[in-house]
Each structure stands twice: as C-alpha cells, then as structure tokens.
Structure 1
Amino acid sequence: MPELDFNSDLGEGFGAYRMGDDDAVLAQITSANIACGFHAGDPRIMRHTVAAALKNAVAVGAHPSFPDLQGFGRRNMTLSADEAYACVLYQVGALQAFVTAQGGRLQHVKPHGALYNQAAADPVLARAICEAVRDLDPQLYLYGLANSELTHAAQALGLAVRHEVFADRTYQADGTLTPRSQAGAMITDADQAVAQVLGMLREGHVVAVDGSTVPVQADTLCIHGDQPGAAAFAQAIRQALTREGVSVRAPQRA
C-alpha cells in the first residue's frame, strides 16, 4: 500500500452560520482545504479554522472558488482567464496571510466546487488557476482531480501535483465526478466509501456508475466536511486505512 494524504474541505460556515463538525474531522485528516470567502468562510472563520488546523498538526491549504456565495460555489460560471487568475490569487493570498500571521506555512491550493470541476475539463481555466498559484508561491502543491486538465496544467507549469480521489463521490466513465444534480452522486454509506478507497489504492482504478473502470492516481483522498456525519465517515475511513497498513500523512513542502 502507498502513502496517502487525507484531506477535507473545511471552514465553510459564514457569519453566525456553521457547517459541519470541523474540529472532529480535523482529528482524522492530514490536510485541510480552507474556504477563502468566495463560496463560504469569512475573515473570522478563516482565522479560526487555520488556528484549529495548525493546533492539530494538519497541513493548511487554500480552497478558492468562483465568486458565488449564494450558490456555495457550485454553479457554473464563465470567467475570462484574467478574471479567474485574479479571483484565485486574491483568495489564496488572503488565506496565506492568516496562516503566516499564526506562524504556519501554506501547503497547497485546491479549487472548490464548480471551479474545480470546470477546470478539470477546461485547459484555459486550468492554466489560469495554476498560473495564479505559481506566481504567488511556486512551491505550493496543486490538488486536482486525478488525470484531469487541472493536474496536467499544473505539471506543465512546474507545480508539484497531488492527484485527488474521492471517498464520498461516484465517478463517470470519463473520470469526472457525477454531478450533484444527478441521483447517486454522493456516497453516504461508510462501507461503500471504504471499499471504493481501498479499490483505488489496490487496483489503481475506480468503478464508474456504468460499471466501467477508470484509471486513477491516488495521492490525496478527499472527504467533504459539509456532508451529514462527515466526522464519523472520516473516522471509518481513517481506521480502514490504518488496518490496511497505509501510511497516512500530508506531503512535505521542500
């Protein structure tokens, strides 16, 4: 079994509203993708979530989004490459400030929601995102859907890449995630999630919804912190990985 990073999307409340049990999830994961204010999060939540991640020795990453607070960043948008670059740079720079102020070091960037999914298929958008990351700090890792346009763009620009797979999402035959608008997009059974994860690690592929097999490279594993029961889900997966002898840890920056 290989090494595996275990990440989750956190800090996704806003104002008086909270989403998920971030503290419990942080006890199970090795990397946190923290919302930067465009789909969720606000300055106080960003600061608190960074502090909690650092306290738990969890690597901190930025989770930039389309500017879509009302839609939680899950609605497709059409941005020029310049607009996408600026949006990503703005958000990652803001999160980096909170990390630096608390004595930490930003480790990675993982786009959120529709920005992530569109960049997985759109080479122009993917390059704009990766250029923003490179120009801010070329030593940052880029987390992207395994074998997608996003990871290809990152590699072309010389960024360190972590190919991402999902415990709680199903896959289409082309390697993309099943859209949330379709039935069966989310995996809500912990045993099914564990079986999918172990299959990807052992066999190097995932079984798509149509029964076909899709090759994947599993460098980092994601669980969504906003889904119901995320903490118990994360614990079940972490325990299964430990039983299988998988070394679960974040990638180390140079």
Structure 2
Amino acid sequence: MSSIDLNADLGEGFGRWRLTDDEQLLSVVTSANVACGFHAGDAVTMRRVCGLAAERGVRIGAQVSYRDLAGFGRRAMDVPPAELAAEVAYQIGALEVFARAAGTRVSYVKPHGALYNRVVRDEEQAMGVVDGVLLADASLPVLGLPGSRLLEVAAKAGLPTVAEAFADRAYTEEGTLVPRDRDGAVVTDPVAVVERSVALARTGTVVSHGGEILEVRARSLCLHGDTPGAVELARRVRARLVAAGVRVEAFA
C-alpha cells in the first residue's frame, strides 16, 4: 500500500482579513504550511493556527517567503543570500515560538510563491534558504520540487529533503510548475484534481500542460488553501485516496 502526506498553505491572513479556512482544512490535511509573516500571517494568526494544528495532530511547517506582503510573496525579488538566510531563520524562529507554546514544534520548512519557484533553478538563492534553515535548526526537513536546486543543496548540507507534488497546478514538460500568469496554470476542475492526486500517489505520474506523462515521485501532495472550494476539494481528494488504497499520513 502506498502512502502520501497532504499539505496545505494555512494562516494566510493578516489582521481581520483571512484567506484560508484554517479550521476546516486542518481536519483534512496531515501537514500545515503556516505563513510566517513575510507574505501573509501575523502573530495572532500564527499562534491560532499552531494551536489548532496541535489539537488535531497536524504537523506544522514554516512557509518562508520573500518579504512581500503587498504582493503575497509572488513577485520576483533579488535578495542577497546572507540576507535571505537571516530572514528565513527569522521566520522559522517566530513560528517555533508559537508551535512550542501549543505543545509541539516546527517540523519542516517549505518556501512560498516566488521564492519556491526561484530555488528550483537558482543555486545561490537555494543556498540562502538552506543556510537559513541550518541557522534555525539543522534537523528540519525541507520540502521542494523534485530535481530542484533547493533539494540538491539541502541534501549536500545534510538536511533531510521531502519531494512534493501539486494536484492543482499544471506542470511544464520539464517538470516545473507552469507560471501563474499563463492560462491553465491552476487546475480548477475538481474531477481532474482528484484524478491527478490518485495518479501522483499511486503511480508517481502526472500529465503535463502539453499532454506528456511526467514522472513525479513525491512523498507529499500540496493542495492550495486559497482556491475557491478548497475545503470540499481537499475532502474529496482525501476520500478518493483512501478509497484507492493510499494511506494518508504525515511523512516520516
């Protein structure tokens, strides 16, 4: 029987504004990528989500980002590696305070948005992220795209790595994510998302934007919490995975 971790981006609010239905999604996912204040999230939100995750036995991950609240962390930025490392460590440390207060801890790190896509190919920025993780906690696993510079650099530095896949994002023929400004970058058909989830978990494959079958071996599957109908879609994905004989559980 195969197994897969389900992760979602949570805590993506600020002040009175909330984007994600954290309470409901935490009843479905096994890992929560919590915004750490740089692209979204604030102290109150981080504390609340950590408490909810701890109550439900969901793993907490630090979703680190470029400092870009106005652009939701999705704008390209050039940050010196040393500065990026300090900012990554800062975000992890902030979330760790609230995780520990809830009786748990930060269990992994995942970049967000523009930073996530940048470190697929940019080794210098990848090293900045890895140095930040090492500064915060050298035992933390790093989540990223299979074959990315980030996972390569992290592995060389002795950090555990976890490859992840996306059920609701389109892939290029090279195995990277289709940029969000292109048509079809986000898969919105619930049936297609569910089918892609099962294929990724059972066979490690996904159909690219151009129709080619790609091999994507991943231990964690991401479902975006800011997609309309995200909660119901996440429930359908989990139910279908279980029906297909896939164990849904946090990665070891």
TM-score (norm 2): 0.97
- The offset of 1:171, in angstroms, is 0.4
Could you tell me which amino acid in structure 1 is paired with residue 229 of structure 2? G
2:83 aligned counterpart, secondary structure: helix
Provide, for residues 132-177 of structure 1, a one-character-per-residue CA deviation record: whole Å limited to 9, x for no partner. Answer: 1123212211111122111111111111111010011010111111
Once residues 242 and 201 of structure 2 are traced to their aligned partners in structure 1, the CA distance between those partners, rounded to angstroms, is: 13
Q: Identify the residue that residue 180 of structure 1 maps to in structure 2.
A: 180
- The offset of 1:93, in angstroms, is 0.8
- Equivalent residue runs for 1:144-183 within 5 Å: 144-183=144-183
Confirm or deny that 1:46 pairs with 2:46: yes
- The offset of 1:8, in angstroms, is 0.3
> How many residue pairs get matched?
252
Runs of 4+ in structure 1 over 3 Å off: none
Could you tell me which amino acid in structure 2 is paired with residue 235 of structure 1? R
Q: Identify the residue that residue 13 of structure 2 maps to in structure 1.
A: 13
1:182 aligned counterpart, secondary structure: coil
Confirm or deny that 1:107 pairs with 2:107: yes
1:107 aligned counterpart, secondary structure: strand
Q: Identify the residue that residue 137 of structure 1 maps to in structure 2.
A: 137
Once residues 149 and 214 of structure 1 are traced to their aligned partners in structure 2, the CA distance between those partners, rounded to angstroms, is: 19
Q: Identify the residue that residue 84 of structure 2 maps to in structure 1.
A: 84
TM-score (norm 1): 0.96
- The offset of 1:101, in angstroms, is 1.9
Provide, for residues 64-101 of structure 1, a one-character-per-residue CA deviation record: whole Å limited to 9, x for no partner. Answer: 11000000000010111112111111111100111112
Could you tell me which amino acid in structure 1 is paired with residue 166 of structure 2? F
Contact 1:20 1:228 in 2 (8 A): no
Once residues 144 and 207 of structure 1 are traced to their aligned partners in structure 2, the CA distance between those partners, rounded to angstroms, is: 19
Note the residue ranges of structure 1 that are not aligned, 5 or more in a row: none
Q: Identify the residue that residue 66 of structure 2 maps to in structure 1.
A: 66
Q: CA RMSD in A?
A: 1.1
Bigger drift between 173-182 and 210-219 goes to 210-219
2:214 aligned counterpart, secondary structure: strand
Once residues 73 and 20 of structure 2 are traced to their aligned partners in structure 1, the CA distance between those partners, rounded to angstroms, is: 17
Once residues 204 and 197 of structure 2 are traced to their aligned partners in structure 1, the CA distance between those partners, rounded to angstroms, is: 10
1:63 aligned counterpart, secondary structure: strand
Note the residue ranges of structure 2 that are not aligned, 5 or more in a row: none
Could you tell me which amino acid in structure 1 is paired with residue 60 of structure 2? V
1:71 aligned counterpart, secondary structure: coil
Once residues 123 and 48 of structure 2 are traced to their aligned partners in structure 1, the CA distance between those partners, rounded to angstroms, is: 34
- Equivalent residue runs for 1:199-210 within 5 Å: 199-210=199-210
Once residues 64 and 24 of structure 1 are traced to their aligned partners in structure 2, the CA distance between those partners, rounded to angstroms, is: 23
Once residues 223 and 204 of structure 2 are traced to their aligned partners in structure 1, the CA distance between those partners, rounded to angstroms, is: 19
Aligned identity (percent) is 44
Confirm or deny that 1:229 pairs with 2:220: no
- The offset of 1:111, in angstroms, is 0.6
Could you tell me which amino acid in structure 1 is paired with residue 104 of structure 2? G
2:178 aligned counterpart, secondary structure: coil
Once residues 96 and 163 of structure 1 are traced to their aligned partners in structure 2, the CA distance between those partners, rounded to angstroms, is: 23
